[in-house]
Amino acid sequence: MTTDARTPSPSPPGVPTVTAGSVSAIIPARNEESVIASCIESLANQSEIGEILVVNDQSTDGTANVVRGLMEKFPQLRLLEASTLPDGWVGKNHALWVGAQQAKGAWLLFTDADAEHEPNSAARALQIASEQNAALVSFSPEQITATWYEKALIPYIYLRLASRFSYEAVNDPKSPVAAANGQFLMIRRDVYDQIGGHAAVAGEILEDVAIALRAKSAGNRIWFASGKAIVRVRMYRSFDAMWQGWKKNLYRLMGGTPWTVIRETESTLPWIPFLLLLAGWKYPFLFFIAVLFLIARQTSYGLDLARNQYPFSLIFYYVPAVLLYVGVLWASCRSHANGRIEWKGREYSIAAPRAVK
């Protein structure tokens, strides 16, 4: 007999009983007028979600007006306003903290404004929490890619992340590895309060990973899995936004040291094929060998794509993927070495996190 995704099995001891409306969804929103409505609508018809709190993080576009226009249609929707960003806080973390202070649910679901949820996303997370006795459940969303640069870079980065933060290691309570994706992160309210919530990670650029690490270090079970057919996201809608987004995060995601950047560069760039291609201008036979080596690397990448539920056809973006990846990794390294990053109109000091007006 199978368990229906919308009827979670009885909760183990220590896990709050799941009831309709037991989840508070919290969405930080800074200049998200083009995407916020789809996110809200995808959450509003889920019976498990009792309230949707959108925290307007000093938007300069029509984000707040879009939310207000949906409030009559969805009575569980509320609009909160984030105050001026305090020193030492990253904007998103502050907005999530503001929302969490107003939330009433036994579970807090943190999600991004550009995330679109399937009708069973909250139910599936609650089911996993019940079955696995997990205090934190996170999904890595299905990535929507429309342009050539999205198809090249985003899957490549997620494959590198999968090798660094495997689901098996994250979900193993004996392993110190912890990770989560802030595009869908659901945590028990009592555990969130126990670990200090977002106030404890106020200046962290990778707040989702930091929350997961604190939860696991405190002895709580966490569960991280693919979000395919549960939640999907188109992260970036321009090359500049994509570059700035990964420039902000990638250095720390890949280890946060110059040595890890060098190691990543060495292991990802197809050095031998590239050198043989150069030598092939003088010795044509070497050019032929280089092409064979490159096809082998490309095929290996295609198999890795398939294993991670990406279309095999993305294999044709292999070379631009590698070049973009190495480029943004080094850009991220330089940005962090300089001690400052920019995101959504704000600049932060990395050494001592602080919003710079």
Q: pLDDT tens track of the chain, all 357 residues? A: 333 333 333 444 444 455 667 999 999 999 999 999 999 999 999 999 999 999 999 999 999 999 999 999 999 999 999 988 998 899 999 999 999 999 999 999 999 999 999 999 999 999 999 999 999 999 999 999 999 999 999 999 999 998 888 899 999 999 999 999 999 999 999 999 999 999 999 999 899 999 999 999 999 999 999 999 999 999 998 999 999 999 998 998 998 899 999 999 988 888 677 777 777 677 777 767 777 778 888 899 899 999 888 999 999 999 999 999 999 999 999 988 887 777 777 777 765 333 333
Owner of token pair 């970036």: 236
CA distance 251 to 318: 21
Range 56-84 burial, b when 16+ CB lie within 10 A, else e: bbbbeeebbebbeebeeebebbbbbebee
CA distance 249 to 226: 20
Owner of token pair 């290691």: 169
pLDDT given for residue 352 in this prediction: 39
pLDDT given for residue 9 in this prediction: 38
CA distance 103 to 51: 8
CA distance 137 to 159: 20
Owner of token pair 């980065």: 157
pLDDT given for residue 329 in this prediction: 95
SS (H, E, C) 261-295: HHHHHHHHCCHHHHHHHHHCCCCHHHHHHHHHHHH
Q: Are 67 and 79 in contact (CB under 8 A)?
A: yes
| Alpha helices (H) along the chain | 36-44, 63-71, 91-102, 121-132, 148-164, 167-171, 189-194, 207-217, 239-253, 258-268, 271-279, 284-307, 318-337
| Structural Rg of the chain based on CA atoms | 21
